[in-house]
Amino acid sequence: MTDPQATGATTSKADSSALDGAWNRLAEAELATHADELVAAWQAVRQASLQRVAGLDAEDLNLQGAAFASPAKWHLAHTTWFFETFLLAGEPGYAWHHPAYCELFNSYYNGIGQQYSRPQRHMLSRPTVAEVIDYRETIDQRLAALLDRHGHASDSRQLARLLALLRLGMNHEQQHQELLLTDLLHAFSHNPLAPALGQPLPPPLPCGELQWIDFPAGMTSIGAAASDGFCFDNETPRHRQLLHGDYALASRPVSNGEYLRFINDDGYTRAEHWHSDGWAWLQQASITAPCYWRRHDGQWQQYTLAGLQPLQEHAPVSHLSWYEASAYASWCQARLPTEAEWEHAAQSPCGQHGLGGQRGQFAESGIWQAAMPASGNAALAGMFGHVWEWTASSYSPYPGFSPAAGAIGEYNGKFMANQYVLKGGSCATPESHIRSSYRNFFYPQDRWQFSGVRLARDV
């Protein structure tokens, strides 16, 4: 493939500082007065995508392990298509980089036009990786020129509109940076050679006994407020929600060792702990352990982006479906937290977000395998980063939710059915991308993401 180093893929210290998240805290009305900061952050996001695939070959970048995943090459092209479609194409006299790309790299925007079949994206040997890199460079140059022109124009409202779309596109690309990693992990997991990307997880310290942190019943506010700066539309509007009873959250995520005890107690064969659909999924797919766990010579191993590793019992359990997370909670005589409970706790003084202090393990570490956060007294450890945490809440619109007009409104709203909410981010999530109001969502059988579990119980 084209060497990402030659295309400026290495993230410098200056790029890292541009990604500190300040640009996401700006209100839309302030964007035009912070244009240089936002453009620097956009450039850093674009470079970070190429850095994720540094050292991989073209054969790696065209792998697609399942119909629900996508090749890394497609992610690199699709995020570029987003900028071309929503920021450049509306300019008078604009000529598309390649007309066929409108179909090849459109994901699900029916208002834009046709989409190439998702399960067959691995069949796209053309455009080549080199041509995709050229596509990225060309669109970046065109977009930089467009922003420069509007930056010197007198209409600050038009510049603010472009910058708002630029910021949306950056957050969209950060979502795909995580998907790129999890899709590569899934594809590589099928290879007996156990390909490696990224650094191995250091031997973790003992995770310590799980503690319970109590929270009172009452009214709370969840969701993003207009004054919070950037958010996706599905995080709005901020609203009040009743926590019906006192509850407690576990001080940390569940560990591999704790989940192993569930397996050894025949957790996968005891129907009383499973939802009906989950039990049917279990039987049909012959599931007996989390995704990427393997048993060899009587010992458990886990396939990771650092290759096949011995199972580290003190690390957080990850790659669980909602069905598995819920069954484990039942076995523990506990439950999954609701979205409101999780968000209320994350914003509390004992949540790391509420303290404004230590955050978790994110993609920037280069260790794309979840580590157990260090836990303290009366504190919730690892609420952000490490593993996405399943909630008991279905992914549905907040009261008063209204999607944006036009094709951009297809981003989230049309997926609000038959999925569950996850909170907090993971070791593959860019740090500047996450916040307490963030709503990730997947189907209950999905487990190729870094999805884990934090227990809740009634008090």
Amino acid at 156: S
Q: Are residues 77 and 142 in the same domain?
A: yes
CATH number of domain containing 451: 3.90.1580.10
Q: What is the mean pLDDT of residues 293-319?
A: 95
Q: Are residues 414 and 327 in the same domain?
A: yes
pLDDT on residue 402: 87
Lowest-confidence range among 141-150, 219-228, 350-359, 404-413? 350-359
Q: Are residues 163 and 39 in the same domain?
A: yes
Do the bridges between strand 451-452 and strand 388-394 make them parallel or antiparallel, or are there none, so unpaired?
Answer: parallel
B/e letters for 29-58, b = 16+ CB within 10 Å, e = fewer, are eebbeebeebbbbbbbbbbbbbbbbeebee
Q: Are residues 178 and 233 in the same domain?
A: no
Residue with tokens 């472009």: 162
Which stretch of DSSP H or E encloses residue 218? strand 218-222
- Percentage above 70 pLDDT, the chain: 93
For the record, the structure tokens of 6 come out as 């030659």
Q: Are residues 225 and 182 in the same domain?
A: no
CA distance 74 to 119: 12
User: In the Cβ-directed half-sphere of 213, how many Cα atoms lie within 13 Å?
Assistant: 25
Evaluate whether 453 touches 328 at the Cβ level (below 8 Å). Answer: yes
Q: Are residues 156 and 228 in the same domain?
A: no
Residue 318 lies in a domain: yes
| Domain-terminating residue out of 152, 173, 188 | 188
Amino acid at 39: V
For the record, the structure tokens of 306 come out as 């650092």
Residue 206 lies in a domain: no
Q: Are residues 268 and 173 in the same domain?
A: no
Amino acid at 151: G
Which residues have a Cβ under 8 Å from the Cβ of 131 and sit 6 or more positions away? none
CA distance 421 to 322: 10
Phi, psi at 244, each rounded to 5° = -70, -25
Residue 316 lies in a domain: yes
CA distance 372 to 430: 18
Q: Are residues 184 and 217 in the same domain?
A: no
For the chain, how many structural domains are there in total?
2
Q: Are residues 348 and 415 in the same domain?
A: yes
Which residues have a Cβ under 8 Å from the Cβ of 395 and sit 6 or more positions away? 234, 415, 416, 417, 419, 420, 421, 439, 441
Residue 257 lies in a domain: yes
Amino acid at 350: C
The alpha carbon of 312 is separated from its chain's Cα centroid by a whole number of angstroms, namely 23
B/e letters for 144-168, b = 16+ CB within 10 Å, e = fewer, are eebbeebeeeeebeebbbbbbbbbb
Q: Are residues 140 and 24 in the same domain?
A: yes
Average pLDDT, the chain: 90
Residue 277 lies in a domain: yes
Residue 204 has pLDDT above 90, yes or no: no
User: In the Cβ-directed half-sphere of 263, how many Cα atoms lie within 13 Å?
Assistant: 16
Q: What is the mean pLDDT of residues 242-253?
A: 96
CA distance 447 to 281: 12
Lowest-confidence range among 57-71, 111-125, 147-161? 147-161
Q: Are residues 43 and 154 in the same domain?
A: yes
Q: At what angle do helices 129-151 and 35-52 cross, to 10 degrees?
A: 180
Residue 363 lies in a domain: yes
CA distance 391 to 398: 16
CA distance 169 to 166: 5
pLDDT on residue 125: 96
Domain hosting 348: range is: 212-458
Residue 198 lies in a domain: no
Q: Are residues 89 and 184 in the same domain?
A: yes
Residue 388 lies in a domain: yes
Task: With cut-offs at 50, 70 and 90, classify the pLDDT of residue 377.
Answer: low
Q: What is the mean pLDDT of residues 308-334?
A: 97
| Domain-terminating residue out of 155, 188, 221 | 188
Do the bridges between strand 420-423 and strand 218-222 make them parallel or antiparallel, or are there none, so unpaired?
Answer: unpaired
Amino acid at 309: Q
For the record, the structure tokens of 341 come out as 């409970």
Task: With cut-offs at 50, 70 and 90, classify the pLDDT of residue 199.
Answer: confident
pLDDT on residue 374: 82
Is 356 exposed, middle or buried, given 0-12, 13-18 or 19+ CB atoms closer than 10 A? exposed
Task: With cut-offs at 50, 70 and 90, classify the pLDDT of residue 19.
Answer: low
B/e letters for 280-297, b = 16+ CB within 10 Å, e = fewer, are ebbeeeebebbbbbeeee
CA distance 370 to 207: 13
Residue 294 has pLDDT above 90, yes or no: yes
